[in-house]
Amino acid sequence: MKTIQGPGIFLAQFAGDAEPFNSLKGMAKWAAGLGFAGVQIPSWDARLFDLKQAADSKAYCDDLLGVLRGHGLALTELSTHLQGQLVASHAAYDALLDGIAPQAVHGDGKARTAWAVQQLLWAAKASRNLGLTGHATFSGALAWPFFYPWPQRPAGLIEEAFTELARRWLPILRAFDEAGVDVCFELHPGEDLHDGVTFERFLDAVQNHPRANILYDPSHMVLQQMDYLAFLDLYHERVRAFHVKDAEYRPSGRSGVYGGYQGWLDRAGRFRSLGDGQIDFGAIFSKMAQYDYPGWAVMEWECCLKHPEVGAAEGAEFIRSHMIRVTERAFDDFAGAAPDAARNRRILGLD
């Protein structure tokens, strides 16, 4: 069995224009001081990272890793969540998506998609140069506006959406395969890949590509009222990244899963800092150990109540307290005996 690696922290929600959050060196010192052992880097944040340079230059990557090692940190994964969203999204979101795309492609859906695909191709090369084995991203959402079948969806609509989704992602998956890196899709409401059924649809469409894998985040499953432990029983072979994020779901007579267009503070389902929600992380970490999860436990902080720096300060110890150093022997080995085939046959009454 494998012992999970961690604790790590996703830097995206903490990066800012003030020190120490405006540089990788500053954030590395800050994260290490809180007790984290690894960082997940948002590849779109130029204050922390240059994706094209990382794809083109092994020396740049070596220098970056040196900065992290200088603070006792490892790099867990790169993230292209924002770019992945732009690989495939419905035109209904065009105006909103311009907000996360560079100015040069605003108002041009095809150019925006081409830019995003190039970003993912650079991410594959950068991940290889950095010695990584997994990459965190979103799938995008061609079909999401039609998640509820009213008005009735025309026959074949969802199938066509997943066919197109696969067409766009297959060249990216091949690039990551050449780099020796898994693409880990965070299953997330708002993405075409948001649960086990949609992930299976995608796997079918990409011919079960070995690099199409999962970033497991139980908080999104709580908000959908899924069984997040049974999910690991079903899909553990494809889980290659892990966001440790808490959530709670408290329905009322006024609102439930859909949220009533309310802000996060008033929704029945909302994200919480680690330990403040309802997720059974003891059971999750036990499942991870049982199924030999090979990667990192990375805190992603999102909470509508607690200050982010408080959540980060609590997060490292929370994860460390749940990490299981797996056993190298069975607990009852002391009472066992050496193998003896003849004795076994006698016990079974075969001789």
Supply the pLDDT for residue 202. Answer: 98
**pLDDT digits over 168-202, tens only?**
999 999 999 999 999 999 999 999 999 999 999 99
Supply the pLDDT for residue 162. Answer: 98
Classify 303 as helix, strand or coil: coil
Quick check: 96 pLDDT over 80? yes
Domains and CATH numbers, the chain: 5-347 (3.20.20.150)
Quick check: 338 pLDDT over 90? no
**pLDDT digits over 241-255, tens only?**
999 999 999 999 999
Specify whether the CB–CB gap between 24 and 305 falls below 8 A. no
Instruction: Report how far residue 30's alpha carbon sits from residue 41's, in angstroms, rounded to the nearest whole number.
Output: 14
**DSSP code at position 12:** T
Nearest to 222 by CA among 250, 201, 242: 250
Quick check: 331 pLDDT over 90? no
- Kindly report the average pLDDT of the chain as a whole number: 97
